[in-house]
Copies of this chain bind each other. A is one copy, B any other.
């Protein structure tokens, strides 16, 4: 049981907006105290969070409200999944994926990828399923439950799927604006590619430059176009130093460039470098704001 202020804090929706959504779309109807104060419960908050997630993805509030309003109906065409993915399904798909990787069963791996990405919009699946699954895969590899062949095979399959999604997302013709890639020595590029794809889907002009890129090439890449931002992904601790050096060089070469860092070890990389949130959706939103 929460007041509107607490509800705002937990959902990330401004207080005034909470009231507006309730009044306009009747998406929730929190109980009231005798004096008329709103009282939010967990269930209501979940609905609001689901709605906010859709709005973050670019849905208009009106359509997002319509989508989360009618409780459980699958609604609409296939692949149009909306609110949060079902936790049990997600966990099951993750387990099955790791299992398939352990068996080096490419057919199963491909089928599971197909299935997972048909559960909802790319951004949701990437955040809720793909990244946790890749983490689980890494854990299984470290624990010896998946061998090198299995890990490679699964990673490459993911790579192919992401490459396809990246190519299928429209790039703005007005010329690239954001360069995404990894510093020299870094090789875990799946997160970067997922981010690049989400950014493209959001409407940003994105150039993906891939893994293990020398500083010189970074400089050339940001000079090639009227580039507004560069996103450097830092997947491991070893990649911090090369990433920081790359960031410094970019800032020095082009003062007005927005240099951002994403990935697990991106925090406090260098002065003047924007640290992106871990969630892909949130990271794209943060970048878009600049």
Contacts and interface: CB of A to CB of B under 8 A. Distances in A.
Contact of A211 (B43, B77, B156, B176): B156
A157 interface: yes
A104 interface: yes
Interface stretch (A126-134, A218-226, A259-267): A218-226
A136 interface: no
Contact of A224 (B107, B165, B176, B224): B107
A106 interface: yes
Nearest to A209: B106
Stoichiometry, copies per complex: 2
Given A167-B161, A207-B110, A217 B104 contact: yes
A1 B57 CA distance: 10
A83 interface: no
Contact of A39 (B63, B106, B203, B217): B63
Interface stretch (A4-12, A137-145, A238-246): A4-12
Interface string A155-171: 01101110111111111
A69 to B, nearest CB: 13
Contacts of A211: 156
Given A166-B160, A209-B107, A77 B217 contact: no
